[in-house]
Structures are given as C-alpha cells and as structure tokens.
Structure 1
Amino acid sequence: MTLAVAGVVLGALVAARASAAPSPHGLSGPDVPAGVTAGIAVFDRATGRFTEELNAQTQFRSASVVKLLLALDVLWDLGPDYRVPAADRTRLEAMLRSSDDGAASYYWTQRGGSRIIERASARLGLTGTAPPPAAHPGYWGYTALTASDTVRIYRYLLDQAPAPVRDFVMGNLRRSTRCANDGYDQRFGIPSAFTGPWAVKQGWSGFTSGGCTADAGTPASTSAATTATHRNRSATEAAPRRRPTTAASAGTVDLARPALHSTGTVGADDRAIVAVLTLHPVGTSYGTAYSSLTRIVASLDVPGAQRPPGAWLGTLGSGVRVRADATTDSAVITTLPAGVDVLVDCQERGQPISDGTRSSDWWAHLPQYGGYMTNVYVDTSGDRIPGVPVC
C-alpha cells in the first residue's frame, strides 16, 4: 500500500529525539536531557512541602502560561457574584482550554498590557514575574515567569480564590483540549506522563509544528484573523508562534531558544501542583521538545500521580495519523508531531501497510491518544514491537 493510502508522509528519523523513555520518579532527581534548561517546582498540597525544586527562581518567558494571569485579571473585575458575560465566557474558555491567542491579545490590548502583570504580581505576591521587555511591549508571551511563581498562582486558585473564580479557571483547565486553536498538540508533559485527574495550562514559543487535527470539543477561535490563518494553513505545517528574537534584547530572559512549558495540578483533589518550564537548543523540533518535556515530568516525584502502563517508543515520519481503529478507513483522531515519543500499551493485527521500505499488518495502540498507528512508523525493528502484548 502506498504512502498516500496510508495517510502519512515519511520523513527522516529525528536524530535529536529523546532516546530514553521516561524514568520512574525519585531515582536520581529530575531527568533533564542534555542541552535543555529546566525550571521545576512540584508542591504537595497534602503536606505543604515541595517534593521537587530545580532552578525554581529562574525566569523564563511565559508563553501561554501567562493566560492564567489574563483570565484572573478579567474575573477579579466582575463584581461579587463573578457572573461571566457571554462574550467573555467564550473568550476565556477558548483561552484556557485551547490556548487561543486571539483572546489573549484582546485582553492584553483592552486591559492595559503590562499593567495586567503588575496588578497580578502585587495581588498574588509574585516575586519573579515581570512584564515583557520594553522593546516588546505587545508580546504578552514574553512576560517573565518562574516555576516558583507558577506554583503560587495555582495555590491562590485552589486555596484562596473565591469559589466561582476557582471553579471557572480550574474547570476549564480540566477540559484542556488536545489541539490548541493554533494547531499545536498540547498534550505534552503532565497529560502524557500521568493518567487523570489533571488540569493543565501549557505554553510553547519558537516552534513550527504539524497541524493537530481539531478536537470536536475545541472551543472556537475568537479572532477573525486567527480563524483565517487556520483556514489557510496546510495540514502538515503550522505557522510559527511568536518567533523569538535574540536573548540579548531581553536582558536576563532568554527569548532565543524555543520554550515549552507544562503546568497544572495532578491527582485527586488537585493533590500536587506541577510547574515545569523548559528551553531547548535552537533548531529543536517540536516533537523532540515534546518528548523531552514529557520525559522530565515523568521523572518527578509527584504525590498522587498515576503513571500509565506501557512502553515509550520513538516514531518515524511527519504527519503520522492516529486512527480510531487499525485501518485507514477508520476516523483520524489526530496527527503526531514529527519525531515524538509515544506510549504503547498493546498492539493488534489490522490492515497491512507499506511505505516501500517497511511493511507491517500490526498497529500500535496509543492509550494517551485513544487510537492506533501503524507499526511501520514506530521506531522498532521488524513488523511487530518486541515485548509489547497483543491487545
């Protein structure tokens, strides 16, 4: 069967992908791949103590994690009943669940830009958070943020915020969609490393990525310009997200290296707060960073977390489709970022697939995606994955 029928475009194996599977927590501290800079903080709400801290006071550009502060700034102004107007509800839900940039830009412009960050910092006692550099006043994603301050934001939401504010923000984070409204797969880090319950706000900056197949539950984009961009974007390449400039232009905050962040809560009753902020070498692919960040998160001591069973394996190709069943006639659930690692819990025989070099009638089941991909594009020898059971 040809590549076109299989619905994938074979590319070279991404040489820089994470070569090791996520390691069990607590063995030797955070498992940070070479060349990656990480700021990490894990807080156990049951004991009131941190279980992990690494570079927790180091500033990173926030990317979309700053949307937590944008949402809070809106909610704080709603009055004692915190009734969210319909227009704001649409924007806020899209911004929190699907990381909608149009909504963030709307609030940044309407509510005073950097003054939003100043208000939130004062109200929440944030010590490492700062507005974007003066040279980039409109770049809300260049807001400086630390892992420690990120934990403070979640602790406020969970333990101090009025109940309507807590329930609105955390409720939307629990409904985080696989595909963001700019076409990026945002299930890296916490959602890949752990089974639920979890709630997440992710962030990314400086990457290009294959278009993520839209979830049926993804809130619509609130920006006409963003909608047009999505309409005109090819299925295999997403537009760059706020290209970084040079590190020298931002003082201590690195704007040059691609950034990928996973933040949120894990476990019953939001037992653990997890903040992992990362920078990757220039030129790192989205799939490689996705795998590296998931590897870091999976190595952490996160109280209350449940780790899914299975084997972590690399993938080959670009635009590889995950399907509802082991056949190309079944529905496409999503497409994978090039070179990303995937969790495989079992494999089953299905439709034979060939790309001209490799062939197999075995398909890997990916529990984190709820679907199957052909073994042709799993980085393993032979047509069947050794050591992985039959479904």
Structure 2
Amino acid sequence: MRRLGAVSAALALAATVLGLTGAEQATAAPAGATQAEVPAGVTAGVAVFDRTTGTFTERLNETLRFRSASVVKLLIALDHLRTHDPRTLAAADRTRLDSMLRNSDDTAASHYWDLGGRTAIIDRTVAQLGLTDTANPPPGYEATWGYVSLSAADTVRIYRHILDTASAPVRDYMMGNLRQSTRCGTDGFDQHFGIAGSFERPWAVKQGWSGFGSSGGCTPRPPTTVAAATAAQGSTAAQPSAQPSTAAVDLTREALHTTGTVGSGDRTIVAVFTLHPDGTPYGTAYTDVNRLTRSLTVPGAVRPAGTWFGTWSSGVKVRPLPTTVDSAPLTTLPAGVEVLVSCQRLGQEVSIPPYTNAWWAYLPQYGGYMTNIYISSPGNQLPGVPVCSS
C-alpha cells in the first residue's frame, strides 16, 4: 500500500506539472512511458495527448528544452492575434501571417518578432498560456527567435490553448493555416516529415528545422534579409561567434521537430522534438523523425499503406507521370530520404550509368512517381510491391 501511494503521488505531481486536472490526472501516463523508438544518436522529447480521453499516450523527456526553430511561430502568431482580429486583418497582414504559418516563412516571422518587441512576445505568451519550460533566447541571441526554447509538454499546452481556450476566430484561423502546410517551405526545405510523413490526413502541422545548411530537398528561395536567413533556422552567420556558456539549450546540433494535430476533430496533439549528431544530413534526420513518429501510439491516426524504401543520390525528382517527357517535376526529394511506395509501373526507360530501368515507383505522399533507379533495392522491380492498377 505504501508503494502504491507513492506511485499515485508521483502521478498526481506529474499531472500538476503538465497542467492536467480531474479525470486527466487519473489516467495520465507515467512520465517516460512510451512506445517511441528513438534512432541511435538522436535526443528526443515526445508528448502525445489524446483530447478525446484527456490522456497522454506517449511521454518521453517531455519537459526537456530544445531550441524551437520555426515551432515558435505558433507563439509569434498567437501574440499578434491577441490584439488583431483575424477576421479583419489587412490584406498585407493576412498574406504575411498565412505565409509564416503555412510556408514557415522566416522573413514574416522576423517582421512580427520585431513588431511585437522580440522577447516581450515570449514573456506575454508564457504568462497567458501558463507555459513552464519556454524561455527566451540566451544573452546575445535576442534577435534570434529560432533560439527560443520549447519542450514537448509546453507544445501540447500551446495546441490545447489554440483548440480549447482561444476565441473561435483565432482557433479557426490558426488551425486552418496549419492544415494548409505546404510541402516546401520558403527556404527550400521539404517540411512534410514526421506527422505529415507518417499519417493520412486530416492533420495540421507546424514544423521546425535548424542547422542543416541549404540542402532541404525543394528548390531553395534566397531569404529577403540577412536577419531572416540567420534568425529562423539557427544559422551562425552574423551571430555571436560561440554558444554562450549559460545557454539552457543546445544551439549546435541539427534540430528537427514535428508538431501538430492528427485525426478527425484534431483528436490527438503530437509534439516530437529531436537533436541529431553533428553533421547529420537533412534526409537522414528526416527519415529518423519519420521512423520515430511512426512508432508512436497516436489515437485517431490512419497510417498510409505501402512499403518504406531508402533512396540514394540528391536532386531526385518526383513527377506526375512515370516519364520525364511532358511530366514536369512536382518536387525533389531530400537527399537519401526514406520514401513510402504503394505500387510500381512500367514507364519511360531511364539510363543513369551504369543503371538502366523502365520501372517507376508511385509515392502516395508526394502524389507522383520516381524512377526505381534511385531506390535502394536490388533488381529493377521492387520486391513485394504490386503493379499499379492504372
């Protein structure tokens, strides 16, 4: 009985820290309870909250702080909408906010960061939302909004505020934009990893990435200003030369985060924050985050059918038809990323010496085909993959 009492007390304390009440406390998973499969070398913070039952299904290092990268754009947008009704936004304001939330536009984020008083934005939103792990950038980095620190637990609180506490116009505006997340961010990074790469719609996402240089899969667009280039994704250009010794979060390792909601009615909130070994390519981190996210228990999620394969080379194009003729690329893949293949079909014969192959794989999450040459599998046809019916 004494041991059971101690466990109950620990659960109640954990629930209090995470802002749970009533029935939520009674069924909250113990801290660290998880099915998450974290790839070797990756540091992860995970929280998955089922809004239908009011319980966490996954919790791993959920209060660990990470540099937020673009996930902080949620707080930047909420702070602006605190004093601006989304129904009456000026056209230019709406266009800028839409781009920040859908396309992860860094120039737009820098505009609102400056407009809102930079660190004052975080001071206000921490107080308003009751965040416990969120903090401003360390000294010397006040202009760098991507260095605001967040945890998976606080990210769940942010989404719960949007969905359950914010006014209906703010909720609908924020979630409507996140549901329209574009595959390519304005900086040329493919941002449909993690939640977007693991589950069928409906989902809504706000992703974050930092430290990967300029190779993100999509055609890059040069940033409008130096501030936009350096502030958002953790570039060291035009910043202090060394990480401050007082920094509470890691500002150097490659960071890749996926956050949002999954399922009908935004049933489940998912927050996955990751750090990767120095020098990790974007495609490798993308694949690791996908694998981690797929391993989670996410109520209401529908997992797409197909088989996962590795790829090789860079600049690999996905096309609407299994040919390079009159089939302009839909997008390019991050170098070396793992892809889901639902079927394959014969198309144009492609020659990439020393390889020649007429088989093409259909990638349902990209809505197009890639030549089988660039899929890491022996033989021209992929084993266990059916032929497309049409």
Normalising by the smaller structure, the TM-score range is: 0.7 to 0.9
- Give the alignment's TM-score, normalised by structure 2: 0.85
How far, CA to CA, are the matches of 2:319 and 2:246 in structure 1?
Answer: 43
- Give the alignment's TM-score, normalised by structure 1: 0.85
Per-residue displacement from partner, 1:340-373 (whole Å, max 9, x unpaired)? 0000010000011121122210001000000000
Per-residue displacement from partner, 1:56-103 (whole Å, max 9, x unpaired)? 000000000000000001101125x85222221011000000000001
Shift of 1:110: 1.4
How far, CA to CA, are the matches of 1:246 and 1:388 in structure 2?
Answer: 49
How far, CA to CA, are the matches of 1:42 and 1:360 in structure 2?
Answer: 42
Report the identity percentage. 59
TM-align CA RMSD = 2.1
The equivalent of 1:51 in structure 2 is 57
Report SS of the residue matched to 2:127.
helix
Distance 1:28 1:132, change over 3 A: closer
Report SS of the residue matched to 1:332.
coil
- The question of whether the paired residues in 2 share the 8 Å contact of 1:189 and 1:297 is answered with yes
2:131 to 104, 120, 126: 126
The equivalent of 2:279 in structure 1 is 283
How far, CA to CA, are the matches of 1:352 and 1:208 in structure 2?
Answer: 34
The equivalent of 2:143 in structure 1 is 138
2:234 to 216, 227, 242: 242
Per-residue displacement from partner, 1:237-280 (whole Å, max 9, x unpaired)? xxx94325755545220001010000000000000000000000
Report SS of the residue matched to 2:330.
strand
Distance 1:212 1:338, change over 3 A: closer
Residues 1:83 and 2:88 aligned together: yes
Letter matched to residue 36 of structure 2: P
Shift of 1:211: 5.6
Residues 1:73 and 2:79 aligned together: yes
Shift of 1:41: 0.2
Per-residue displacement from partner, 1:157-180 (whole Å, max 9, x unpaired)? 101110000000000000000000
The equivalent of 1:202 in structure 2 is 207
Distance 1:35 1:246, change over 3 A: farther
Report SS of the residue matched to 2:132.
coil
The equivalent of 1:193 in structure 2 is 198
How far, CA to CA, are the matches of 1:303 and 1:315 in structure 2?
Answer: 30
- The question of whether the paired residues in 2 share the 8 Å contact of 1:247 and 1:253 is answered with no
Count matched residues.
348
Distance 1:328 1:241, change over 3 A: same
The equivalent of 2:304 in structure 1 is 308
How far, CA to CA, are the matches of 2:157 and 2:216 in structure 1?
Answer: 33
Shift of 1:28: 7.4
How far, CA to CA, are the matches of 2:49 and 2:88 in structure 1?
Answer: 31
Per-residue displacement from partner, 1:28-62 (whole Å, max 9, x unpaired)? 71010010000000000000000000000000000
How far, CA to CA, are the matches of 1:299 and 1:135 in structure 2?
Answer: 38
- The question of whether the paired residues in 2 share the 8 Å contact of 1:210 and 1:336 is answered with no
Residues 1:31 and 2:67 aligned together: no
1:258 to 240, 249, 254: 254
How far, CA to CA, are the matches of 2:216 and 2:143 in structure 1?
Answer: 26
How far, CA to CA, are the matches of 2:299 and 2:214 in structure 1?
Answer: 32
- The question of whether the paired residues in 1 share the 8 Å contact of 2:372 and 2:381 is answered with yes
- The question of whether the paired residues in 1 share the 8 Å contact of 2:218 and 2:333 is answered with no
Shift of 1:156: 0.5
The equivalent of 1:42 in structure 2 is 48
Greater C-alpha Rg: 2
The equivalent of 1:356 in structure 2 is 353
- The question of whether the paired residues in 2 share the 8 Å contact of 1:328 and 1:351 is answered with yes
1:377 to 364, 368, 374: 374
Letter matched to residue 361 of structure 2: A
The equivalent of 2:6 in structure 1 is none
Structure ranking higher on relative contact order (CA contacts 8 Å, 6+ apart): 1
Letter matched to residue 338 of structure 1: A
- The question of whether the paired residues in 2 share the 8 Å contact of 1:75 and 1:82 is answered with no
How far, CA to CA, are the matches of 2:387 and 2:214 in structure 1?
Answer: 32
Report SS of the residue matched to 1:264.
strand
How far, CA to CA, are the matches of 2:96 and 2:126 in structure 1?
Answer: 23
